[in-house]
Amino acid sequence: MDIEPIYIDENFVRSIYPSRKKDSHKGENGKVLVVGGNWLYHGAPYIASLAALICGVDLVYVAVPKPISNAIRSMNPNLIVIPLPDYKFTKGSAQRLIKIMPEVDAILIGNGMGKGIIDGLKKFLTETSVKKIVLDADALLPEVVNALSGSGKDFILTPHEGEFRRISNHVLSDKNFDEKVKVVMNFAKEKGATVLLKGPIDIITDSKELYLNSTGNAGMTVGGTGDALAGLVTCLFSKGIKAVEASAIGAYVNGSAGDLALKEKGLHFTATDVINYYPEIMKKFDRLV
């Protein structure tokens, strides 16, 4: 590796994590919009939104197709739900959301969206004035990444290896870790993106900095933990932490919470269980000034 990696630990997180002003007002500690879901999937955007909320952002808006909006409303009154037309994220959905966009610091998009959404994604992401974008899950498409590349947006990609192959056309080596890191760093440089590649050891890079995270466990293959991670990263990103550091801290916290879940529940926990352990991990970094 040409760049010396930083292995993420508690001391690193403490050195980066921002303090909160004692006299801060609602909205000053981050406002997030999660865009996701389709007529079939309401769980993924809900989990991502819940993760952002528990992470400590002030306001979380979640924009989903109208048929699933009431389901999400009923699950948590702390979320501000924006119903969108159509059964998936179409150009019409994008146009409607652009017209009624709340003021937010960062956007997460892709969780539970399904297929047939490229046109809607490209329209929304190129026309929104919000600069901080996180792409996850179904939004991890080469056409969408290319639309953001060079757009002036500050964007984070959070793929697992299969999704990375889809957006980069690279098959990553399981035998040569240094080669895997090199491929990810080169892709981040080519696209002008921050990449959080999820795996047994998470690789986080913007091509100029490199972080490695080893928290987490095999129980986190349960559905939804990736959605939680994306929501967590978006929360941190919205607080003014730079993209690569927000991604690194998010990977560490999500994995550490998963390790607590494993300790308490064995291999019998869910994504929402992991989220419920966030405060246990994060409260040690809280500072009021």
Domain-embedded: residue 44: yes
- The strand ranges marked E within 46-99 are 59-65, 80-84
Q: For the chain, which ranges sit under pLDDT 50?
A: none
The DSSP result for 191-253, as a single string, is HT-EEEE-SSSEEEE-SS-EEEE----GGGGSTTHHHHHHHHHHHHHHTT--HHHHHHHHHHH
189 in a structural domain:
yes
DSSP state of 81: E
| Tens-digit pLDDT profile for residues 252-268 | 999 999 999 999 999 99
Burial annotation 251-278 (CB, 10 A radius, 16+ → b, else e): bbbbbbbbbbbbeeeeeebbbbbbbbbb
DSSP state of 157: E
- CA–CA dist 42, 64 (Å, integer): 8
Residue 194 pairs with which residues in a beta bridge? 156
**pLDDT value, residue 1:** 66
Is residue 97 one of the residues assigned to a domain?
yes
Per the structure, the complete domain to which residue 72 belongs is given by: 6-16+25-281
Q: Would 204 be classed as within a structural domain? A: yes
Radius of gyration of the chain from Cα atoms?
18
Report the number of distinct structural domains present in the chain.
Answer: 1
The size of the chain, in residues, is: 289
Report how far residue 120's alpha carbon sits from residue 123's, in angstroms, rounded to the nearest whole number. Answer: 5
35 in any annotated domain: yes
Measured CA to CA, the distance from residue 258 to residue 252 in angstroms comes to 10
The answer to the question of residue 288 being in a domain is no
* Cβ pair 181, 1 in contact under 8 A: yes
Dist. CA 22–CA 36, nearest whole Å:
34
pLDDT of residue 173: 86
Provide CB contacts within 8 A for 211, sequence distance 6+. 5, 6, 7, 8, 203, 204, 205, 244, 247, 248, 251
At 270 the pLDDT is 99
Q: Say if residues 199 and 161 touch (Cβ distance below 8 Å).
A: yes
How many of the other CB atoms lie within 10 Å of CB of 150?
Answer: 9
Burial class (CB in 10 A: 0-12, 13-18, 19+), 93: buried
Residue 189 CA to residue 69 CA, distance in Å, equals: 38
The whole-angstrom separation of Cα 124 and Cα 127 is 5
Task: Please check whether residue 118 is in contact with residue 135, taking contact to mean a CB–CB distance below 8 angstroms.
Answer: no
CA distance linking residue 82 with residue 33, whole number of Å: 10
167 part of a folded domain: yes
Average pLDDT, the chain: 97
Give a yes or no: residue 287 inside a domain: no
**CATH assignment at residue 98:** 3.40.1190.20
Could you tell me the pTM of the whole model? 0.98
- With a CB cutoff of 8 Å and minimum separation 6, the contacts of 4 are 210
